Structure formats: structure tokens, C-alpha cells
Chains A and B, each alone.
Chain A
């Protein structure tokens, strides 16, 4: 069994902002092996702390995939399906209202 069967390749190669979760069950379970004790890395995504956000738009301008928009001029909204976890927004956010977290 090759690694690429178990791990989608981009998850293994890009490493900057990953968190670690769980274990993957081995495909060979039926021949006596219970688990493959390897942790799978999962990509972190930007999360906005709404009460700290000042809706200045610094994150919107810096986001390379346009995943962030300002919701009604009140707070920044991250589209998790677009977010690639580059953490540029986290670094630029003036009130540090953005954190990188592993989505549940």
C-alpha cells in the first residue's frame, strides 16, 4: 500500500499551517492489522474573532484567493471552502482578530 492511497498528496506536501488530527484505519484490516498509527495533517483555516474585528478590510486586500469579504461593514467573513490557510490575513490583521484554526 502506498502513502498516496492513504494521504491526498497536497495534505502531505504543504506544511506551514497544518494541525494534526486522528489516525486512519488501515485498508488491510481484514488481514489482521488494526490500525495504521500515523497522524493525518489537516489544513488550518482563518477564523475571525468577530468582537475584535474592525472591518478595515486589510485582510480582504491581502487574501490571495479572495476568500474574505466584509459582512455588512461589521466584520470580516472567511469562506472556509476558499481559504487555503496561508495566514497572510492573520499577519496583517491590525487588531489581531484572525487566528488560524483546524476546522472541526
Chain B
């Protein structure tokens, strides 16, 4: 990192803070929407991949742990994980799972489903997380359900990223990060490049 002490390089703290807040109060998971909206908006409005390049707290965290603290085996990423098919396939899978999560939110909103106060890791394993539900009556149940769903998504991807960081090069998550793929796709479409 070239300029020391810049606030841009401290975004990894925000990343840690996000997961800490969600641990104690799940409603903070809504803040994660910023990680979805900001990169997309930046790439649409001509900032290209500035989010990945300078602001992504997760990327910084992986660099810090993997390159800084050297807790990475630094292996080469297997060819299939770098392939176009896997990257775009993972983006599609992520989007499908996001819609799936919206359905669960809708079910709670319409009253046909009840609140599932657990964090679903890897889209499969329910981890009880009731203590973080402190919303009470003031916040509608569907918003709480969405928060649980979103936190599950963020935590799953963090774990995947950490595993990639440990085994492969520190920022290997960036290769198949759905937001990274999506923003690069937007940039490619804008420039008329082959996807």
C-alpha cells in the first residue's frame, strides 16, 4: 500500500466492525447492502473498479492477514477457480441465492413463514443466532429476517475468502468475488470488451 495512514487503507476495520456489530445485533447486517450498492454504482458511474482497488475492506483484510501477517500458504489458485465459467457461474449462483433469501423475507412479510433466527452458513447449515435478535417490536419481522439472510451471505463469503486466503494467495477471494466479477463485467460491457 503506497500512502500510509490514509483512511482508504483503514477500511479493513470497517469490515471487522461489520461482523462484530452483526454478532451482537443482527439488524446491523443491513449495512452490508453498502458493499453491494457502492461497487455497482461506482462502476456504472465511471469509477470503474475503484471499490475493489482502493476501498474494499475485505480485500484489505486478506492482504493484511495473508501478506502482512504471512498466514497464507501462497499457493497458486487451481485453474478451474480462475476460469470464466467458474467466476460467472459463482456470480449467478450468488444472485440466485440472494433472490432465494428475498423469498424467505417475503414469506415472513406476508405471514406465510416464521422468522428463522439463525445464520445459514454455506446456504445449508443453520447456526443458532437468537441472541443477536434485539429488534423487539420496533422493527418489522421481515426486516429482521432479511438481516439474518444477509448476514448469512456475508459470513459465508467471508469464510470462503478466509479459506482462500489461507490456502492460496492472500487475495484469491477477489478472483471469484461476485461483486468483483459483476463490476468487471459492467466495465467490460461499457468498453465493448469480450466478457
Give A residues with C-beta under 8 Å from B. 52, 54-58, 60-62, 66, 70, 72-74, 91-96
Asked if residues B2 and A57 are in contact (CB atoms below 8 Å), the reply is no
Q: Identify the closest chain A residue to B9 (Cβ).
A: A61
A73 and B49 in contact (CB under 8 A), knowing A56-B180, A61-B2? Answer: yes
Among B2, B168, B171, B184, point to the contact of A58 (Cβ < 8 A). Answer: B171
Bound complex: CA A75 to CA B188 (Å): 10
Q: Report chain A residues within 8 Å CB of B2.
A: 61, 66
Asked if residues A56 and B187 are in contact (CB atoms below 8 Å), the reply is no
Asked if residues B77 and A94 are in contact (CB atoms below 8 Å), the reply is yes
Bound complex: CA A55 to CA B54 (Å): 12
Asked if residues A70 and B168 are in contact (CB atoms below 8 Å), the reply is no
Asked if residues A73 and B48 are in contact (CB atoms below 8 Å), the reply is yes
Q: Report chain A residues within 8 Å CB of B59.
A: 56-58
Bound complex: CA A60 to CA B49 (Å): 12
Interface class of chain A by DSSP: loop
- Asked if B76 CB lies within 8 Å of chain A CBs, one says yes
Among B54, B67, B82, point to the contact of A57 (Cβ < 8 A). Answer: B54
Bound complex: CA A58 to CA B87 (Å): 18
Bound complex: CA A70 to CA B47 (Å): 11
Q: For chain B, which range describes its interface: under 10, 10 to 19, 20 to 34, or 35 or more residues?
A: 35 or more
Interface class of chain B by DSSP: helix
Q: Which of A62, A72, A91 gathers most chain B CB within 10 Å? A: A72
Among A58, A62, A70, point to the contact of B174 (Cβ < 8 A). Answer: A58
Give B residues with C-beta under 8 Å from A. 1-2, 43, 48-50, 52-54, 59, 63, 67, 74, 76-77, 82, 87, 168-175, 180-181, 183-184, 186-188, 190-191, 193
Distance in Å: Cβ of B184 to nearest Cβ of chain A:
5
Q: Report chain B residues within 8 Å CB of A70.
A: 48-49, 53
Bound complex: CA A31 to CA B186 (Å): 65
Asked if residues B191 and A56 are in contact (CB atoms below 8 Å), the reply is no
Bound complex: CA A70 to CA B110 (Å): 46
Distance in Å: Cβ of B52 to nearest Cβ of chain A:
5
Asked if residues B52 and A57 are in contact (CB atoms below 8 Å), the reply is yes
Q: Identify the closest chain B residue to A69 (Cβ).
A: B53
Asked if residues A92 and B170 are in contact (CB atoms below 8 Å), the reply is yes
Asked if residues A54 and B169 are in contact (CB atoms below 8 Å), the reply is no
Asked if residues B169 and A93 are in contact (CB atoms below 8 Å), the reply is yes
The 5 closest A-B pairs by CB, nearest first: A73-B48, A57-B53, A73-B187, A56-B174, A73-B49
Bound complex: CA A92 to CA B172 (Å): 9
A selection of 25 A-B contacts at a CB cut-off of 8 Å is A54-B175, A55-B48, A55-B52, A55-B53, A55-B180, A55-B187, A56-B175, A57-B52, A57-B59, A58-B63, A58-B174, A61-B1, A66-B2, A72-B48, A72-B187, A73-B48, A73-B50, A73-B183, A73-B186, A92-B170, A94-B173, A94-B174, A95-B77, A95-B82, A96-B169
